[in-house]
A = this chain, B = another copy of it.
């Protein structure tokens, strides 16, 4: 039992209220674990799959996943974290998005263990009386406590009244389906808690709330020991879409920084905690970070395109990119020419070659690149005041940055 609990909470940001999940699990019956998704965007990227993977953990532990396609709520639009009103989507758009979303979600979830619902099923039945009754169960000030709403209110940016409906209706989904647990990203915490509150007010047993972290983009980096970077999104162009071709997916995964790759393992991989710990130890022991990253890339491609596609994507990556791959840490050498800094001379100055004549030979053999351009002329001048990325050798290649001092 403690083992099962550990795998269920791995990577979760918050589980509220404390101790409640243990108590529910102890009942020994399958729990109803809800995720509400709004088919507002047709394509899912890996950021969306963090919570899906968490749902999958519940499925693997024998629980029932209730996946709610918010075909009504999508029309209202979730104002969470939004600084402005979202446009209302047309019914056709939502329908098309819902189908795509569903297909994609089933690449992470075990479709045979999903209770798939659309919330128009019960929201369309709500009368004006029901809506008034729902609204009567919540106060304006509680709504305005929400960060995004309070900021918009304080800054006099319009909040339209129907935006208040969103958390209420998402919460009403839990009332209608009597869920035990609701999952969502950390940006959904308020909405999930509204659901919990409402269940109590409708005389139901309030759900447990579990949030998962918001995944950063492939451009995330570590600064002062902290992961920094925008969340993964199409608009920031730092996403890996789960519909992308295998090669594209693999290539994008390999762009993830060496420092942050374990964040992606924790939130995306289905490897056990022990396996991930082993990989971390391997890295510390000097294993090539690119190899470790390739394991993640393979796993992701395999999940969405199958094993064969993953093998091919890895091979293709090796062929096309590996020789050009630049490691994260590149030594920097400063050279101080008295006259023109010829490239062969600079390579020797930076100790990348044993002698200027070796440099010339390498250049003539096509074994030197400067800023991605293959050198042909050993006397090619490097400009003072600039820094160049230099690759030397094609098999046991070395990388360096050469900074040319001004004269």
Contacts and interface: CB of A to CB of B under 8 A. Distances in A.
A133 B158 contact: no
Contact of A141 (B139, B153, B162): B153
A132 B139 CA distance: 17
15 contacts: A75-B132, A124-B129, A128-B169, A131-B165, A132-B162, A136-B161, A137-B160, A139-B158, A139-B159, A139-B161, A140-B140, A140-B163, A140-B164, A141-B156, A141-B159
Contact of A88 (B88, B136, B158, B163): B136
B135 A164 contact: yes
B123 A128 contact: yes
A132 B165 contact: yes
Top-9 shortest CB links A-B: A135-B162, A135-B161, A136-B162, A140-B159, A132-B162, A139-B158, A126-B128, A131-B131, A123-B128
Contact of A138 (B123, B133, B138, B161): B161
A269 to B, nearest CB: 40
Interface residues of A, number: 36
Chain A contact surface mostly: helix
Contacts of A137: 160
A76 interface: yes
Contacts of A329: none
A72 interface: yes
Contacts of A136: 88, 160-162
Contacts of A165: 131-132, 135
Nearest to A72: B128
A375 interface: no
Contacts of A75: 129, 132
A168 interface: yes
Contacts of A249: none
